[in-house]
């Protein structure tokens, strides 16, 4: 999760670490739609999703103060999102992640995708949503979740196949 980051990101991280309210507000404005999508994907209903999103929003100013200057902002925000969702939803550690490739695939309607996403166990769903909205490498998601990279890759694949398969569970 570490490495060289662009100078603009380093400046932005420095402002965030200082607790600059404008920097925190800009970060929130940039990411709130993706964070809402993750919260909505993890919650059983919109009201619960609002609670999750509000928690991420309210805890963000204190979280950014401790962020590293050597880790991309998106990865640190993903870590913060993971920790807040993990705390609120009490996500279970997976026993194993079965992967079954469907006999056929098709493009499901949006309502089907939403229903299929809701069927997925939350410990797999959060990995998939963080991957979709933050584009985190498997190593980053592994560090966030405590899983190994192979488990993360299998979780992402299981969810993706479930979303486009003609049936079955991840």
SS (H, E, C) 71-116: CCHHHHHHHHHHHHHHHHHCCCCCCCCCCCCCCCECCCCHHHHHHH
Residue among 127, 128, 126 at smallest CA distance from 88? 126
Q: What is the rounded CA–CA span in Å between residue 108 and residue 119?
A: 15
Per-residue pLDDT at 103: 55
Per-residue pLDDT at 97: 56
Per-residue pLDDT at 151: 86
Per-residue pLDDT at 160: 79
Q: What is the mean pLDDT of the chain?
A: 83
Instruction: Supply the DSSP symbol for 165.
Output: B
Per-residue pLDDT at 126: 85
Regions in the chain scoring below 50 on pLDDT:
1-2, 168-170
Per-residue pLDDT at 169: 47
Q: What domains does the chain contain, in order, with CATH numbers?
A: 1-90 (1.10.1740), 94-170 (1.10.10)
């Amino acid at each position: 999760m570490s490495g060289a980051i662009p100078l603009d990101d380093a400046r932005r991280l420095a402002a965030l670490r200082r607790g600059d309210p404008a920097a925190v507000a800009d970060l929130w404005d940039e990411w709130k739609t993706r964070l809402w999508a993750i919260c909505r994907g993890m919650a059983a209903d919109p009201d619960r999703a609002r609670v999750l999103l509000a928690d991420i929003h309210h805890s963000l100013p204190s979280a950014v103060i401790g962020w590293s200057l050597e880790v991309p902002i998106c990865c640190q925000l993903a870590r913060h999102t993971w920790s807040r969702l993990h705390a609120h939803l009490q996500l279970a550690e997976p026993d194993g992640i079965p992967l079954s490739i469907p006999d056929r695939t098709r493009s499901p309607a949006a309502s089907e995708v939403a229903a299929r996403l809701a069927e997925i166990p939350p410990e797999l769903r959060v990995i998939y949503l963080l991957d979709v909205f933050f584009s985190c490498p498997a190593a980053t998601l592994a560090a966030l979740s405590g899983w190994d990279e192979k488990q993360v890759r299998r979780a992402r694949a299981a969810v993706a196949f479930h979303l486009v398969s003609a049936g079955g569970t991840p």
